[in-house]
Structure 1
Amino acid sequence: MARNVILMIAASCILLSGCAGIKNIQDLTYIVSIGMDYDEEKDEYTVYLQGLNFLNVAKQEGGKTAEPVPIFVASAKGETLNLAVRKLYKLSEPPLFFGHVKTLVISKRIVQHKFKEVVEEVGRNRSIRPTLHIVTTDESIEEVFNINALFNYPAIYTVLFKKDFYEVAQNEIRPVPLMKFLREYYEPMNAAKLPSVKINKSGWKAEKDYPVLYFDGYTVFQNKKYIKELAFEDSLFLNWIMENYIALDERVEEDGKLAAAVKLESPELKFKYEENAPSPKFSIVLSIRADLLERVEDISPDRLRSLVEEKIKTKLRSLYLDGVERKIDYLNAGEKWFRMRPEKFAELKKHGNFYLDENSLTDIQVNVQILNFNSYKFNE
C-alpha cells in the first residue's frame, strides 16, 4: 500500500514538472504591431516592433489621471523581415512574444517596390495570425507607433486596433484583415484595398496640439499590382457601398447651394449582366435608406429624394469611369461575372486586356427611400 502511494506521488510530480517552462504573463514583451519600411538604394528593410505591457493595455480608472505609460518601439535593419527581427531578440528582456500581433503597418515605399515579396512572406509566416489587420502609411512608422489615443488612453485604442467593422459607426473607413485582403489580392478580376493611416496634429488640442491617427483613404491593387492612392471621400463612398456596415452623411445641393444634409444607410447593390456578352456588360440597381438630418432650404420630399438619387448616381458613375481609366474594378463587377462564366473568363484571359470599358456599365438606377424627416414640416 505504501509503495503504491509513493508511486502515485512520484507520477504526480512528473506531471507537474511539465508546466515548469511556462512563463508568467508579466515575464514577456508583448508585440502588438509590426511596421516595415524599405530603403531602395541599400535594398534593406527596417522593421519596427511596438511593445506594450499591462499598464499600456488597461484604461485609466478612478478620479485621478494617471501619468501616461510610455510606448516601447524597437527597430532593426536587415535583408528580410526575419533577419531584422532576429537582431532584436538579444536586446529584449523580457523576451519577445508575437502571439498577440494585431496590426501590420507597411510603408508606401514597400507598396511601390517590394509589396509582393513582403505580403507573400507575411502570409506564410506561422508566427503571424491571418486575422491581423494590415494598413499602409507614408508617415514615419516610429511616429505612428508612438501616438496614444485621446485622453492618454493606450495606443491599443487608436484606429490601428479597431477589432472589426462592427466598431465603425459612420463616416469612417473600416479596417481590413490580412486574410480578407489576400483573398481579394489574388483574385484575377477584383480590386483589393488597404486603408492608409495618417497623423492629424490639429484636430484635437489639450493645451497644445494632440496628434491622433485616422484612416485617410485606400491603397488600391488590381491583379496583384499596386495601382493608386484613392482619396478619402471616394474611399468612404466605396466602403459604404461595398461593405454595408457604415452610415454616410451627405450634403445635398440644389443649383450649387446647400439644400439639406442626409444620412444614408443600408445600401443594396445589385448587378444585372447581359447573358451573351464576351466580357462583363451590366447595369446597376442601388437601393438606399435615408434620414433627413438638416433642411437648409425649403425643399419638398420628392425633390429631396430626386437630388439625392442624382448625386449618388453621378458619384457612382464617376468612380466607375476613374476605375476604367486606371484599369481598376472598384465595384468588383468582374468577380461576380467570371464566377458564373468560367469558359468566357478563360477566353478573355488569353487577350490580356482589361475587361471593362466605358460602355461596360450600361445603366445605373438609384432608389432612395427617406424614412425619417427629423420633425421637419413640409407644405402640401
Structure 2
Amino acid sequence: MRTGLKIAWAIGICCLLAGCWDIKSLQDVNYFTGIGIDYENERYEMYIQQLDFSSVAKSEGGKSDRPAVVWVGQASGKTLSEAIIELYQTTQQAVFWGHLNSIVFSKRALEHADLLGVIDSLIRYPEIRYTPWVYGTDKPLRELYTTRPFFNLSPMNSILYAPETNYNQRPIIAPMRMSSFIRSLREPGQTTLLPSLSITSHTWTQNRKPDPKLEINGVYVLRNTKYLEWLPAEKLLGVRWLVNKKQGSRIMLTEGDERVATVRLSRPKTKVRIEMGSGEPVFNVEVEAVATVLEMWKEKTEAELEKMAGEQMRDQIRSSHSLGLEIHADILGLEHRLYRRDYAAWKRLTADGHTPLASPRLGEVKTTVKIANSGMYKMKHRRSEY
C-alpha cells in the first residue's frame, strides 16, 4: 500500500513539472536574421541571411581570429509567401523567425511591389516582431548581406542590424523600424523617408586592399506606398531640425570658402505655426538650439557665431524644403502637421487625402542659437549669463 502511494505521489509530482519536452538544440534550428526583397518580372526575389549563432556568440564576446559564418539563401515566387515556401524546401532544419532584425527592399521593390502586402505576409509569422530595421537599397542584396564589419565581428554589429550607434555620431538620417515604416505608409498626409543602405569600397582598406563597408547614404521618399525619389544625405541637412530633432548635430561655419568654426547644436526645440491666408496654409518655423564651440579657426565674437549658426540652420531648412518641392514631396513633414492641427482644412485642400498638398508654402523661418560652452576657446564680448 505504501509503495503504491509513493509511486502515485511520484507520478503526480512529475505531472506538475514545467519541463521543456520539445526544446530544440541550437544546432537544430535555422535562425533567419535578415530578409532582402527584390521585384523583377512580376516576381518576388527573396534573399535570406542566417547566421551560425555559435560563432556569433564567440565573435560578440570579443575579437575572433575568423569571421562569423554567414549563409545567404535565395528563392522566388509570384508572392512573398510562395518564395518563402520554396526556400523551406532546402532549409534542412526547423526555421525560427524570432531573430529577424532587418528588412531591405530593393529600389525595384519600392517602385513596383505591394509594400503593405509584403509586410502583411511577414507579420503573419507569429515569431516576427514589429522591431526589425527597414531599409531601401540599389545594391545587390546578396552582396549587401555578405559585407562584413570590422575585426571579424558578427554581422549583428554592423549598421544593418545596429544603426543607432552610427546615427548618434552622425544624426542626419534617422533609422526606421518596421512599426514606424508601417505607420508612416498608412498615416494620412505623411511622407516616408526610408533610409538608403549602400556599400562603399573607397573609405577603408585592410592590408592595402579595399575593405567594403555598409553606409547609410540617403533616403527613399515615398507617399502612401508610392515611390517618389531617392535623395542623398548631403541634401537633407535641414530635415534633421524638423523631423529628426536629434541632439548633437555638428555644422561648420564658413565665410565664402574660408572656414570660421565648427559648432555642435544640441537640444533643438522646434515650433511650427500654421496660418491660413487666402485659404492656403503658410507654415512658419521657429527653431531654438544650444551651441558648443568645437573648433575655431578665425576669431569671432559670440554674437557673430550665434548669428552665423542660426543663418546656416535657416538656409538648410529652406534648401531642403525647396528640394522637396522639386520632386513634389513634403520632406519636412508640413502636410502631416496640418492634418493633425486642422483636419477640416487638410481634408478640403487634399480632396479628402486623395491628392497631396500642392506646394506647401514655407513662411518665416526663425532660428535662435545660444552658445553655452566655448570649450577652451576665449570669446569676445561674452554675455554675463554665460
After TM superposition, the score normalised by the length of structure 1 is 0.90
Report if aligned partners of 1:189, 1:329 keep a CA contact under 8 Å in 2: no
Indicate the residue corresponding to 2:304 in structure 1: 303
Name the stretch that deviates more: 16-25 or 198-207: 16-25
Are residues 1:174 and 2:174 paired? yes
Paired positions, count:
375
* Secondary structure, counterpart of 1:202 in structure 2: coil
User: For residues 18-29 of structure 1, what are the structure 2 equivalents within 5 Å?
Assistant: 19-29=20-30
Structure 1: unaligned runs, 5 residues or longer: none
Residue in structure 1 matched with residue 328 of structure 2 by the alignment:
327
* Pairwise CA distance, 1:57: 3.9
Structure 2 match to 1:224:
225
Tell me the residue number matched to 1:281: 282
Residue in structure 2 matched with residue 316 of structure 1 by the alignment: 317
Matches within 5 A, 1:48-63: 48-54=47-53, 55-59=55-59
Do 1:56 and 1:71's aligned partners in 2 also have CA atoms closer than 8 Å? no
1:86 paired to 2:85: yes
Measured in 2, the distance between the counterparts of 1:350 and 1:284 equals: 26
Residues 201 and 209 of structure 1 are in contact (CA less than 8 Å); yes or no, is this contact kept in structure 2? yes
CA distance in 1 between counterparts of 2:47 and 2:57 reads: 19
Matches within 5 A, 1:230-309: 230-235=231-236, 237-239=238-240, 241-274=242-275, 278-309=279-310
Asked if structure 1 preserves the Cα contact closer than 8 Å seen for 2:116 and 2:182, the reply is no
- After superposition, give the CA deviation of every residue in 1:49-99 in whole Å (9 maximum; x if it has no partner): 11112212443657x842223211111122121211212223223322111
Separation (CA, whole Å) in 2 of partners of 1:288 and 1:334? 24
Residues 1-380 of structure 1 aligned to structure 2 (within 5 Å): 1-14=2-15, 19-40=20-41, 43-54=42-53, 55-59=55-59, 65-116=64-115, 118-122=117-121, 124-127=123-126, 128-162=128-162, 165=164, 168-172=167-171, 173-207=173-207, 208-235=209-236, 237-239=238-240, 241-274=242-275, 278-350=279-351, 353-357=355-359, 360-379=361-380
The structural deviation recorded for 1:356 is 4.4
Provide closer, same or farther for how the CA distance between residues 264 and 123 of structure 1 changes in structure 2, counting only shifts above 3 A: farther
Q: Which amino acid aligns with 1:77?
A: S
Shift of 1:192: 1.0
Q: CA deviation at 1:274?
A: 1.7
Distance 1:264 1:115, change over 3 A: farther
Describe the SS at the equivalent of 1:203. Answer: coil
Q: Which runs of 5+ in 2 are unaligned?
A: 382-386
Distance 1:117 1:282, change over 3 A: closer
Specify the code of the residue in structure 1 equivalent to 2:20.
Answer: C
Instruction: Give TM-score scaled by structure 2 length.
Output: 0.89
Asked if structure 2 preserves the Cα contact closer than 8 Å seen for 1:171 and 1:236, the reply is no
In structure 2, how many angstroms separate the alpha carbons of the residues matched to 1:262 and 1:17?
Answer: 59
Cα deviation 1:348-379 (Å, max 9, x = unaligned): 23285532436x22211000111121212244
- CA–CA separation in structure 2 for the residues paired with 1:123 and 1:284: 39
Deviates more, 1:225-234 or 1:113-122: 113-122
Cα distance in 2 between the residues matched to 1:14 and 1:378: 77
Deviations 1:172-216 (A, max 9, x none): 433201111111111221211111111111211120211111111
Cα distance between partner residues in 1 of 2:120 and 2:357:
30
Give the conservation status (yes or no) of the 8 Å contact 2:250–2:265: yes
Residues 46 and 76, structure 2, Cα contact 8 Å, conserved in 1: yes
Q: Cα 1:90–1:223, aligned 2, differ >3 Å: closer, same or farther?
A: closer
RMSD of aligned residue pairs (Cα, Å): 2.5
SS across alignment from 1:274: strand
1:197–1:213 contact (8 Å) kept in structure 2: yes
**Identity within the alignment, %:** 27
- CA distance in structure 1 between the aligned counterparts of 2:320 and 2:346, rounded to whole angstroms: 24
Structure 1 window deviating more from structure 2 (78-87 vs 234-243): it is 234-243
CA–CA separation in structure 2 for the residues paired with 1:229 and 1:44: 23
Helix, strand or coil at the partner of 1:169:
helix
The structure-2 alpha-carbon separation of the partners of 1:45 and 1:113, relative to structure 1 and needing over 3 Å to count, comes to same
**What is the SS of the residue equivalent to 2:31?**
strand
